[in-house]
């Protein structure tokens, strides 16, 4: 899938926004409207190496589990997430948050995500509107992120370690 790029300005200090995003256990709080059943892949949920596995509730997806790991955590500027999704986890997944200072002491959050499907069938599934769907869902997620950090709006549930 070609990259989906979105941005939003949050009226909070950059370090505060970074610390919230660098804890992957917080991500279901603002993405639980389309990413569900989050489970941490290790006890430490903050910083490089922290990861989670979750379900993507996208249309026409039979193999909807995905995982992400915080691969690069450059405080307070950038967070790079790498992962896999799809059948046999064969589709590579990239997500990146870049935080820039905004006027008035706020933070401009630029978000970018893309996938690398390996087979023609995977590319076909993505061509059936997945990019538009992804843009809409992450747009809402960024607005929820802003509401949580600025207004203290009700948060979703944090991710926990998978039982067993």
What is residue 82's predicted lDDT score, i.e. its pLDDT?
A: 98
Preceding amide of 88 cis, omega within 30? no
Query: Which CATH number does the domain housing residue 73 bear?
Result: 3.30.530.20
- Counting the structural domains of the chain, the total is 1
Give this prediction's pTM.
0.91
Say if residues 94 and 106 touch (Cβ distance below 8 Å): no
Predicted confidence (pLDDT) per residue in 126-151, tens digit: 776 788 889 999 999 999 999 999 99
Predicted confidence (pLDDT) per residue in 61-114, tens digit: 778 899 999 999 999 999 999 999 988 888 899 999 999 999 888 999 999 999
Domain limits at 124? 4-161
User: pLDDT-derived band of residue 59, with 50, 70 and 90 as boundaries?
Assistant: confident
């Amino acid at each position: 899938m070609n990259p989906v790029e979105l941005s939003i300005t949050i009226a909070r200090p950059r370090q505060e926004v970074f610390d919230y995003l660098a804890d992957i256990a917080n991500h279901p709080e603002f993405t639980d409207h389309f990413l569900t059943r989050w489970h941490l892949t290790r006890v430490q949920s903050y910083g490089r190496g922290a990861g989670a596995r979750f379900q993507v509730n996208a249309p026409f997806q039979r193999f909807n589990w995905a995982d992400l790991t915080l691969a690069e955590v450059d405080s307070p500027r950038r967070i790079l997430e790498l992962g896999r999704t799809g059948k046999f986890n064969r589709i590579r997944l990239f997500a990146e948050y870049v935080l820039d200072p905004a006027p008035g002491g706020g933070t401009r959050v630029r978000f970018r995500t893309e996938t690398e499907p390996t087979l023609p069938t995977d590319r076909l599934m993505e061509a059936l509107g997945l990019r538009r769907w992804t843009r809409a869902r992450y747009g809402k997620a960024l607005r929820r992120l802003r509401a949580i950090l600025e207004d203290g709006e009700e948060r979703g549930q944090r991710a926990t370690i998978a039982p067993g």
